Amino acid sequence: VCVERLEARLKTEMPEITRLFVKPQTTGTWEQRRKLIDAASGDQPI
């Protein structure tokens, strides 16, 4: 979702940019982010 927001903003503000390459997150970074998302939403991981 974050990448989609970034792409949408770039298309609006800088239409001359036609390609965007985003470095994948490390597993550790994703796990930290997922825990924050879960805590904020109140959802319990499966």
Domain boundaries defined on the chain = 2-41
CA–CA gap between residue 31 and residue 29 (Å, rounded): 6
Look at residue 45 in the predicted model and tell me its pLDDT: 58
Which amino acid, 16? E
- The pLDDT tens digits of the residues spanning 1-46 come to 788 898 999 999 999 998 888 888 888 888 998 899 889 987 665 6
pTM (whole model) above 0.95 = no
Look at residue 9 in the predicted model and tell me its pLDDT: 93
Q: Which residue has the tokens 């970034």?
A: 6
